[in-house]
Chains A and B, each alone.
Chain A
Amino acid sequence: MNVEIDQEGCVAAGQCVLAAPDVFDQRDEDGVAVLLREPLADEYDATREAALLCPARAIALSE
């Protein structure tokens, strides 16, 4: 699974971190989402949930 974050579109809601805390984090200074690492197979569902819940639709997945 490949994960891309549109950091300019990100609104720093942090919902991705709540859904998949081992995959996403937020920058200290402005809360913009960052990718910690590519998700492991058992994190795919949580990563899909993160992309689904993003209120800026700023996470694109290719599987």
Chain B
Amino acid sequence: MERVVVVGASAAGSTTAQTLRREGFAGAITVIGDEPHLPYDRPPLSKQVLLGSWPVERTSFGPSTTYAEQGIDLRLGSRAAGLDLSRRVVELATGEEVGWDHLVVATGVQPLQLREGHHLAGVHLLRTLDDAVALRKSLVDASAVVVVGAGFLGSETAAAARQLGCEVTLVDLAPAPMAVQLGAEVGWMIAELHAANGVRVLGGSGVTRLLGESAVEGVELADGSVVKADAVLVAVGTRPLTDWLVTSELPCGDGVLCEDTPAGVHAAGDVARWNSARFGVSLRLEHRFNATEQAVCAARRILGQDIGFDPVPYFWTDQYDARIQVYGVVPPDARLVVVQGDPGARKFLAHYVSGGRVSAVLGWNMPRELRSERALLTAI
């Protein structure tokens, strides 16, 4: 009997396993996940879970009976520690070995930390459900919150904290929130959105250290000033979780290099890096929809389909009343061209133009209209 082992039990891992089963894979499927929880969805963690508008159970992808019914051997609280490509086994932290004919690496990423200060009470990272629950608890009790890093997680958390009534400061090295992901112009619009909602936005500011005895009391900035804080989220980026692959000789370089993996080995989700011919770049995307698309692709390849993977990426962020959605890849040098609506009214569509072509389309509170703009990218 053919055996598939999926390492990682989040969106990419669980989708791979369930797609295999739904589409007729009759062999054995084992999913190995290091968290104790049943597979759950991450995007609500920095939104509904922090706000308390959803009970945490609502993030679940379904009860354990679903996996049992589908004949998926779900091993939770179990960490992969190594991989032997020649013997085709995954080594678990317990020393147990799990053999496979097809392997799917879906171990995701882990958040980066500041050099020091993470031992202080009130300092948080946000990746897991447990992280989100702990951060929410802190935010509910906090009066002054500092968010270090204004990417997706940091910006969404700043919005949630503000909506919970905290005094919030959002700090980033970049000039404006999400400027790295969406360009400076949209970054300034997001800065205005936060400012209009009462968040203090500090762009171009490095953080030197977190201050406090046993609990955090403040954040020291590079200019020497101190921002008072009784809760801090550090959201300064991530690194792919490939440590367990180091001795295996599986080709890695800021993620698993999908084109270079041996036959029978696949990667999906945040940990996977591939070459996009469509956009002419190497991509590794930490976007929810990419996890699904890549997992479905991995499952279908295991089922014998000869399919490529070069999608039009899709991602979104929800902050206050703004739903910002993007198709495509935003190059650092792209020029923003508003094609419909009005940024001042916080309802518009824009193109990112780079090298004489549209490489991404963005909609700010225009989801239906944005969808038709996607066709500009499928033609590339």
- Contact surface of A with B, Cβ cutoff 8 Å: 9, 11-15, 17-18, 26-28, 30-31, 48, 52-57
B143 at interface, CB cutoff 8 A: no
Chain B positions 22 through 62: 1 when the CB is less than 8 Å from some CB of chain A, otherwise 0: 10000000000000000001010000000000000010010
Most chain B CB inside 10 Å of its own CB: which residue of A15, A27, A28, A52: A52
- Shortest CB distance B273–A (Å): 20
Specify which of B15, B58, B289 is in contact with A13 (CB 8 Å cutoff).
Answer: B289
Which residues of chain B are within 8 angstroms of A26 by Cβ–Cβ distance?
367-368, 371
Most chain A Cβ neighbours within 10 Å, of B15, B288, B289, B318: B289
Contact A52 B289 (CB under 8 A): no
**Set of chain B residues within 8 Å of A17, measured between Cβ atoms:** 371
Cβ A31 vs Cβ B368 within 8 A? yes
For residue B296, CB closer than 8 A to chain A, the reply is yes
Q: Is B293 an interface residue (CB 8 A)?
A: yes
Q: Which residues of B pack against A, CB within 8 Å? A: 15, 19, 22, 41, 43, 58, 61, 288-289, 292-293, 296, 314, 316, 318, 323, 325, 367-368, 370-371, 374
Please report the C-alpha to C-alpha distance between residue A9 and residue B61 in the assembled complex, in whole angstroms. 12
Least distance between A17 CB and chain B CB atoms (Å): 6
Contact check, A13 vs B325: say whether CB atoms are below 8 A apart: yes
B61 touches A57 (CB 8 A): yes
In the assembled complex, 8 residue pairs joining A and B whose CB atoms fall closer than 8 Å, in A order, are A12-B323, A13-B367, A14-B370, A15-B314, A27-B368, A52-B19, A52-B296, A57-B61
The answer to whether B296 and A30 have CB atoms under 8 Å apart is no
Instruction: List the A residue with the shortest CB-CB distance to B299.
Output: A52
Q: Chain B: which residue is nearest A11 at the CB level?
A: B316
B residues less than 8 Å from A54 (CB atoms): 292
CA distance A52 to B314 in the complex (A): 15
A12 to B371, CA, bound (A): 10
B368 touches A28 (CB 8 A): yes
